[in-house]
Structure formats: C-alpha cells, structure tokens
Chain A
Amino acid sequence: MLHIKCPYCGMRSQNEFSYGGDASVKRPELNKEISDQEWDSFVYNRKSLRGKHLELWQHLSGCRQWIKVERDTATHEIFNTHKADEEIS
C-alpha cells in the first residue's frame, strides 16, 4: 500500500485516496471550437507511461482535496506531491 503525503494533511495510507489519472491532461476551454482529434485525445488518449508520471489523486476520506502526485509507475516511488493550484516546474 502506497504512503502518500497529502499537502494539507500529511502522510496518509493509499486507502484514503482515490486515483484520478494523468494530471497533465488539460480540459479544452468551454465554447471553443476544436477538432474531433483534439477532443478524442482529451477524452480517451492517455500515454500509460512506464516511469515518472504526474497524476491526480483525491484525498477522499480526508480533506477531499484533489492533489498532484509525482510517482514512478514502475517502482511506485513518490517523488513529490503538490496542491492542485501549484505550478510544477
């Protein structure tokens, strides 16, 4: 079981969180004309990386904040966690 540092609550076990997928995906702006391809890649296409991955988790059974987690999908190492609005370099 992973040990995830919620930026608001501290170190918590994975079973308090729910997974939210790739954090680098940006939802297209509302009312903007976009191509079928662009919409498709937003809704369906994910890279499923092996290695370092920036992903979303929600601290569901805690503060309910959505957070960003830098995790290695192969080793499960967690390098860093961020609040949703934090800029990540």
Chain B
Amino acid sequence: MTQAFRLENGGLINRDKKLSFKFNGKTYYGYEGDTLASALIANGVHLVGRSFKYHRPRGFFGAGVDEPYAIVQLYRNNETEPNVKATEQELFEGLEAKSVNCWPSVNFDIGAINNFLKIFLPAGFYYKTFMWPKSFWYRVYEPFIRKAAGLGVASTKHDKERYEHKYEYFDLLIVGSGPSGLASAYAAAKNGARVILAEDKPRFGGSLLTSDVNIGNQSGEDWANSIIAELKEMPNVVVKNRSQVFGYYDHNMLVMSEKVSDHLPKTKKYHPKQRLWYIRAKEVLISSGSIERPLVFGNNDTPGVMLSSAAKEYLKVYGVLVGKNPLVFTNNDSGYETAIEFKKNGINPIILDSRVNPQSEIINEAINLGINIKFSYVVVAAQGYKKVNSADIAKISDNKKQLGTVENIKCDCICVSGFWTPTIHLASQSGNKTKFKEEIDAFVPGTSKQNETTLGAANGIFTLEETLKDSFTAGQDLSKKITNNDNKISFPNVVEKKSSQHDKFWCVPLPEGKNYKRFLDFQNDVSVSDIEIALKEGYRSIEHVKRYTTLGMATDQGKTSNLNGLQLVSDIENKVVPAVGHTTFRPPYTPISIGAIVGREVGKHSKPTRKSPMHSWHEKNNAVFVDAGVWLRPRYYKQGNETLFEASKREGKNVRTNVGVCDVTTLGKIDIKGPDAAELLNRVYTNAWLKLPVGKARYGVMLREDGIVMDDGTTTRISENHYHMTTTTAQAANVLSHLEYYLQLVWPELNVNVVSTTEQWAGAAIAGPKSRKLLEKLFPNNDVSNEGLPFMGYMESDLFGVKARIFRISFSGELAYEVNVESDNGNFMWEKIIKLGQEFQVQPYGTEALSTLRIEMGHVAGSELDGRTIPYDTSLDGLVSKKKDFIGKRSLNREAFTSEDRQKIVGVVPLDKKTSIPEGSHLVKDAKAPLPNKKLGHISASCWSVEHDNPFSLAILKDGKNMIGEKLFVMSPLKNKVIPVEIVSSHYVDPKGERVRS
C-alpha cells in the first residue's frame, strides 16, 4: 500500500522507520512518530466509524484530545482496549485497531437505518419513548440501546498490565508545554523552584510546532526544543510528555495520567503501562491552550470536514495531506494559516471567509501567494456520504440571514475554523469563577479560588508576544514567592503575524427548502434542530438543555460543541451567552483507564493481608483459609477428602470430647495503663469494673452513645494500674479510636494511656474437657487446678523458657484457656501445644468449628452485635449496671428500647431436625400469608449442632422472650426455602454454663 497522501518531505516523523499496522483487518504502513490517525489519513482512509445515534459515517475531526469521532478498539500484545482516540494513539509496529459502533461493518451499517428514521430520534427521544411500557425497559429498550450505542467493548479478561500510583509535591505544576508553559517553566526553574512540566502529547512545544513564528532568531519549534533540552538538564525540574493532567481537586491537588507504554508494541519488563501522579503543588500554572471551534452547516459531520488547525497539524507534524483539493471555511485569520501551508506544499486551496472585507498581514500573504479567496461566502452543506466530494456554497448577506444562489464546487475536504475556545476545564474544576470575554466570544478564567493562574491561549490571549511576556513574568513572580530568588530572564525578540478581528458568526442558515442536519455535538449526534426542540418544549436552564439533548455529554465532554451550543441557545432566546451560562466542567478532562485509577491495588493487593505468627504451620497442615477482615484465618484443617461440613464437625466434636486448639491471635488487644484505668473501663463498659481484683478477667459489653452494642470482650487486670483489653477481630480499630476519643476529648482529666498490642501477642485458645490436663503438661510448675486458676482467672507463667500469659476464659463454652506469648514465640507455643497434646487427642480447629461451638452455646458475636441490637436483644442485659452511668446508658430509656414485645435472641430448630436454615432468612407466622408477609425476625447465625447432631440457628425475634415453644416458618426467597421451625432457648447446650466452671 502506498501512502498516497504523504508529502515527499517535511513533518517531524522518522521516515527511516517504516511501521506496518492493521485497520479493520487491512494492512497499511506508516512511520515512527505517526498517530494512528495521521497514518490512516496518509493512506487516504477517512471512514473510521459510525456515529452514536444515527450511525452516520465518521472520519477525523481533530488531531488530538478534542477528537469526537475517531474512537477505535485497540489490540495490543494480545489485549484489547476500547475508547481509544486514533488521534492520540501513537503508531507502533504491529498495531491493530477496529472501528466501533458499526455492525456488521464500517462500510455497511445496519444502525444507519436510524439516519433515515430520524423522525424517531429527536431531542429527548430516550425520555419520551423508552419510558413506556415500563416492563419493556429491561427486556427490549435497554439491550437495544446498549447494543446500538456502544463505544467499543471492554475486555472481560484479567488485565495483565501493571499500573502505578505516584505521590509528589512540587512548587509549581505547569500544565502544557506550548509557548506559555515553556516560558513560565523556564523562568520558575531558573529561580530555583521545583517544577514539573506536563505535556499530554508525545512532542513538546504545543502550537509552536505548527505556527510560523520566530523567537530570539529561532523558529518556534527550535526555540521550544532548546528550552526543553535545558529544562531536562536541571535537577529541580521534571519534564513529562504523554502526561495528561485531568483533574484539579481541593487544596491544589491535581491528578495526572502518564501513558508510559501505550506507544510501544508491548510494555517493557518491570515498567508500568500507565502511571497516575497525585501532585500537590504550591502554585499551578494552566497553559492548556485552546481548541478551535467548528462552524455549523449542513452535513458538517461528513468525513473530510475537519478543524483547520488539525489539517495544519497533519501537514506540519506528520507531512500528511488531509486532501488534495481542500476548501477552507473560516470566520477568522486562522484558516489562512492552513491555506498558506497547503499552498506552500503545492496544493491549491480555496478560502471561503464569512467576513465582508477583512484586512491583515496574513490575508495579504495569502493574496500574494495567489490563493483563491471568496469573502462573504459560506459553506451551506457538505456533499458526499462516506467522504466529502463537493460543497454547496453561497454568498451570505451582511446581516448573515440571507443566502445567495447556491453553487456546488468540487473539493475533497473542508477545513473549518470558527475561532478559538480557551481550554478552561482545569481552572473551572479548581473553583475558578469563569467570565465571558466579549472580544473572543468565549469564557476565560476569572477569580481564582485556589493557587492557580491561567496563561496564554487558555486565558484568551492569542498573540505570542503577550503570551510569552505574561508567562515569563508569572513564572518569575510565583517562584520568587517560594524560593526568594530573583533571577531575571531577558525577554526574547518575537516575530509573528498580526491577526484581524474574527466574525461573530458560527451557524449557517438553511437554504430554502432544505432540511440538512447541522451538527453541534459530533460525538452524541446533537443537531441544531434538537436544541430548537428542547427550547420549544420549555427547557431553559442550559443544564437541562444539556441533559435533555445530551449536548456535551459524550466522552469528549463537548470540547468542540459547548460554545456553539451556548451561542445557539443565546441566539434563539435573545440572550447574551454569559446570561445563558455554561455547564459545569468536571474531572476527568479526558477518559482515564480504570486500570490507572486502581493502580496496583488489584487481586491480593486490593487490601493488606495480615497473617498470624502460626500461619505457616496452618499452611503446612492443610488449613483452608478464610478472610476475616484483613486477616487470613484457618477455616478448617482438611483431612483427606473432607468437606468443610465434615471437617468442622470433626473439629467441633473433638473440642467437646477431647481438646482443641484455635489460633486467636487476630483478636484485638489493647493495653491500658494509668491510675484512672479502672474508672475508664467503668465508664466504657456497661457493667461494674472498679472492684475487679488483680489477676482476674471480666467479660464486658460496650455501647455507642445511642445505646446500640458496639463490641464485647474480656478485660484482665494484669496489675494495679495495668489492664489488657480484648476486642472482636472486626472492631479492634474502632474500639481503640473510641477509647482515644473519650480520653482526648471528653474526659481528658482521666490519667490513662491506651495502645494497640494486637500484633505483639500470639494467642491460642485451648478448649475441651481435657484442656486442663494439657495445660498441666505445658506449665508443669504452675497450679492450674480449678482452685489455682479458677474460671476468669489469670496467671503469668513460663512456657519452657518463654514468657506466657494464661487466661481462663472461654468462647466455645467448654472448659477453656487462652495462652498468649510474644508474637515471635507464637510458633514455638503452637508446636508445643500440638506435641504435648497428642496424648489427649488434641486437634487444631478453625473458625467454622469455632462458630458452631459458640452458636450452640448461644454466645453472641458479630452477626448478633450487628449495629442494630441493644443489650436486651442479645440477652446481655444482665451485664447492664443499674447503679453507675456509662456511655450510651441514657439511650436505653428510649421508648422503643423498653417496649414489652422488644426483639430478643432465641434458638431455632427445624421440625424435621434435618433441614439446614440459611442465614439471613426471615421468620414468619404463616408461610402462605399474602405478600408482604410480616417479618417477625431474622436468622443471624446457623450451624449443625455438634452436641445434638441436628441443625441449630440463632435468631433475633420480635417478642422473643414469650416465643419459646412457638412454631413458626423460616422463609428464604433467595434459596427458595420454607422451613417449619420451633423456637427454643438460645442456650442449646449447657444452659447453666457448668462446663466453663468445671
């Protein structure tokens, strides 16, 4: 394939490196330094997709981030990515891309029928049509809309690429490397400030790469290159290309997406694909430039109609002609620059200028070059379906209302220029109150809210000299404030052509008898008539017009459409644009990949993993792990082909008959010290704590101020002013914060310190009738008899040379102990227990057996203490002191909390003693009652009772106190189960609690 539209010379591409690529299955060639767009245009390919709503043919409209059309599905290194702009994607060897929005192919598209049925798709079409009948929405409308409206397909495979996050602080962040970005960065860098300069394109220089100017006796491009080269050498400067600053957040934090590897055939080893930078800057300079505005005329979405600045960029940067018979349609001098570039390369353009008799240096240059210029002329409509082949043009009256005779002239592209729109997105995101600048008919930044300054074209300054002056000064002044240096930079001599005033004219009237679609929003297919309908139907606020018509709501966020839309609304409404106001700019400025946002927090890195010191022992002994918050805990230890059910049953039974050992390291532990420690506990827990003797543990319940149970656990008095508190695994962090809150803010007079010691201690629960015998072997020098170490007793000991704490507490309801040793000795302790326990048939047990044991004992845990229950509900009201005050006590008087039929914990057994009850099921009186069937309570936890060998559940049931013996139904619509059950006591095993005291 030849590159028929590539010039012999010129451009910034590397002609020594030819690259092959595929588009829609066909092979083409381009050069290193091309974008996918420039390489396709070089090959004469202009049909790249179909539009969103009408499926009209789509070509290229721009040459960068503002591109509304050329969105492709990219294939790179066996992965695929949707929503890639061909104008931004750099070419690499072997690149493959496909059109989106086309079915079955870009050349023959069934959805294009929408175009002929356009009467069905006016403004508000979705609101009007798809609302009724409601049942059609999920079955018919949504699938249809989704299929017809997609912009590519996301991969369902795991993304193997690596994405990184980086956090940085800078004195100055400069967005954009055009003339103003370079000048301000240079001045600030010379003043010793720490500077980062971010450019979204691969090449630095912005408009200097395409404009015919001279700075300090160098071409604009050479000047840009020399400044960049110098900046790169400076240690206080970071220069980044392919880096889009897309969001401006609070307190001068900005986020930038750096495309590290997207331009390469595959990501290099150890490199990320993309890197997201979180940058906190003392000052932000926005030099984001401006985007050319389109002109609105009939069929202005036909492939071959594009921005004149884009045509110039394809020519000057890529050495590519967008057409060989170009028509330039302009309302200002910028179109002339493009025409002159064409002429210099041997192409004869025609210029249509809507202005009556404009005069300027650049117009004279065009006239002297012999370019055919028609003043007071406009394009009425583009002709051609898949590519422009001619244009209907006409003279226009001075008041821009009447068209003269329409004539048709041949052309193969139409380059439009409707003047320039400053890119104010970032300034607006920062909270800047933007203002309308009459001279340029566009919004510019006004009063800054944060430390942000907008310079150059983004600030509505369109002359190079003024831009450079402002930018050198800003860079110097702002850096001086930070570094106190005052290095003056001599201002270079600038040569540029002066421009004349643009025409305040954007929308060409329709010729008599014609009904061409004139598009405003090219990505969402919003046309002039859609806006007219919205206004006719009474929409006034620009925010409403936007949502009703979807103007500016596509992935390009209206970069090319916003102002023309506003202009149209203001014309029809007879208002001025500032009175109409613009819609809100929100981050991200351009789409950002989900991978970049997620960074490295994927898979097992999505949260930290905490492991107990005995983890490797569990692994070696076939533990199957379960996530408990961020902890990994053994759920059960698999023997042979055991299932979870079989293993947990075996482990539970062994605890009830012999002795088991469970890793309880994950329990929260808080060390509490100070003379007022007892007083703190007395205020935090619902029961009395002032008289707990040294060497004793006590169970306690703490409430929130609203009376709801927050957590439970045991606390042990280690010495006079020293306590050891345990919390549930889940609430450990919250309880510590809770204690700190009261100590620091509410009762600072209490002399107490608290600190987390969760990770300092490894814990093993030893439970079962034979646990004391095992303890005697572990601690032969201590008296661990029922008298020596009674229930809720505590002793400090020595485990074969290792410091140990022994607590006689029980979660399983058996005779049980918890042994703590310092974490480093955890494995030593565990192996001792297993070894010395052999003669007592010790077995490790996991969380599943642990749950079973506590459920059948009626011990409450997180599933009952779920943030909705008070002490009464969970039968913990015996622990609520009547005498003293404590956190949350006053709330317990609330009427709802004291009502006679208040919910309460009960036990639930299926009548058939066989059917397992799903957790979360509801309890109802009558399984056949009409819906909504009144819910009496819910199943909070279920198990297979080890003791009774049948299913048993705990439930929180309305009037639970009076329900024992009742027959109810458990309903689980999720599992499609209805189970007749009997309500029993929540203490299904050992209701008197004799075993723990034995």
Q: Which A residues from 28 to 51 make CB contacts under 8 A with B?
A: 28, 30-31, 34, 36, 39, 42-44
Docked complex Cα distance between A34 and B891 (Å): 12
Q: Are B251 and A76 in contact (CB under 8 A)?
A: yes
Residues of B within 8 A of A65 (CB): 744
Q: Name 10 A/B residue pairs within 8 A (Cβ), A-sorted.
A: A2-B251, A3-B253, A27-B705, A30-B885, A30-B886, A39-B890, A43-B706, A65-B744, A76-B250, A78-B251
Docked complex Cα distance between A42 and B280 (Å): 38
**CB contact under 8 A between A56 and B249, given known A18-B737, A75-B449:** no
Q: Within 8 Å of chain B (Cβ to Cβ): is A88? A: no
Q: Within 8 Å of chain A (Cβ to Cβ): is B81? A: no
Q: Which of A42, A43, A66 contacts B744 (CB 8 A)?
A: A66
Q: Within 8 Å of chain B (Cβ to Cβ): is A20? A: yes
Q: Within 8 Å of chain A (Cβ to Cβ): is B748? A: yes
Q: Which of A2, A34, A56, A64 contacts B890 (CB 8 A)?
A: A34
Q: Are B891 and A43 in contact (CB under 8 A)?
A: yes
Docked complex Cα distance between A1 and B706 (Å): 31
Residues of B within 8 A of A60 (CB): 737
Q: Are B251 and A66 in contact (CB under 8 A)?
A: no
Docked complex Cα distance between A15 and B705 (Å): 26
B741 closest partner in A (C-beta): A66
Residues of B within 8 A of A84 (CB): 744-745, 748
CB distance from B900 to the nearest CB of A (A): 20
Docked complex Cα distance between A76 and B745 (Å): 24
Q: Which B residues from 697 to 733 make CB contacts under 8 A with A?
A: 705-706
Q: Are A20 and B251 in contact (CB under 8 A)?
A: no
Q: Are B280 and A3 in contact (CB under 8 A)?
A: yes
- A-B complex: 3 closest residue pairs judged by Cβ atoms: A3-B251, A30-B885, A66-B744
Q: Within 8 Å of chain B (Cβ to Cβ): is A87? A: no
Q: Within 8 Å of chain B (Cβ to Cβ): is A58? A: yes
Q: Are A20 and B741 in contact (CB under 8 A)?
A: yes
CB distance from A80 to the nearest CB of B (A): 14
Docked complex Cα distance between A43 and B706 (Å): 6
Q: How many residues of A contact B (CB 8 A)?
A: 27
A33 closest partner in B (C-beta): B890
Q: Within 8 Å of chain A (Cβ to Cβ): is B595? A: no
Q: Which B residues from 240 to 278 make CB contacts under 8 A with A?
A: 249-253, 278
Most chain B CB within a 10 A radius of its CB, from A1, A31, A36 = A1
Q: Are A1 and B251 in contact (CB under 8 A)?
A: yes
Q: Within 8 Å of chain A (Cβ to Cβ): is B431? A: yes
Q: Are A85 and B737 in contact (CB under 8 A)?
A: no
Q: Within 8 Å of chain A (Cβ to Cβ): is B683? A: yes
B431 closest partner in A (C-beta): A75
**CB contact under 8 A between A66 and B249, given known A30-B885, A75-B449:** no
Residues of A within 8 A of B251 (CB): 1-3, 76, 78
Q: Are B740 and A64 in contact (CB under 8 A)?
A: yes
Residues of A within 8 A of B896 (CB): none
Q: Are B431 and A42 in contact (CB under 8 A)?
A: no
Docked complex Cα distance between A3 and B250 (Å): 8
Q: Are B250 and A2 in contact (CB under 8 A)?
A: yes
With A34-B890, A66-B744 given, can you name 14 additional A-B contacts, CB distance below 8 Å?
A: A1-B251, A2-B251, A3-B250, A3-B251, A3-B253, A36-B893, A39-B890, A42-B705, A43-B705, A44-B706, A58-B740, A66-B740, A76-B251, A78-B251
Q: Within 8 Å of chain A (Cβ to Cβ): is B117? A: no
- Per-residue CB contact flags for chain B residues 734-748 toward chain A (1 = under 8 Å, else 0) read 000100110011101
Residues of B within 8 A of A31 (CB): 884-885
Residues of A within 8 A of B249 (CB): 1
CB distance from A62 to the nearest CB of B (A): 13
Residues of A within 8 A of B886 (CB): 30
Residues of B within 8 A of A39 (CB): 890-891
Q: Are A27 and B253 in contact (CB under 8 A)?
A: no
Docked complex Cα distance between A33 and B745 (Å): 22
Residues of B within 8 A of A34 (CB): 890
CB distance from A83 to the nearest CB of B (A): 9
B756 closest partner in A (C-beta): A64
Residues of B within 8 A of A64 (CB): 740
Residues of A within 8 A of B683 (CB): 30
Residues of A within 8 A of B740 (CB): 58, 64, 66
CB distance from A11 to the nearest CB of B (A): 9
Residues of B within 8 A of A27 (CB): 705, 746
**CB contact under 8 A between A58 and B250, given known A30-B885, A43-B706:** no
Residues of A within 8 A of B885 (CB): 30-31
A44 closest partner in B (C-beta): B706
Docked complex Cα distance between A43 and B703 (Å): 13
Q: Are A58 and B737 in contact (CB under 8 A)?
A: yes
Docked complex Cα distance between A50 and B746 (Å): 26
Residues of B within 8 A of A75 (CB): 431, 449
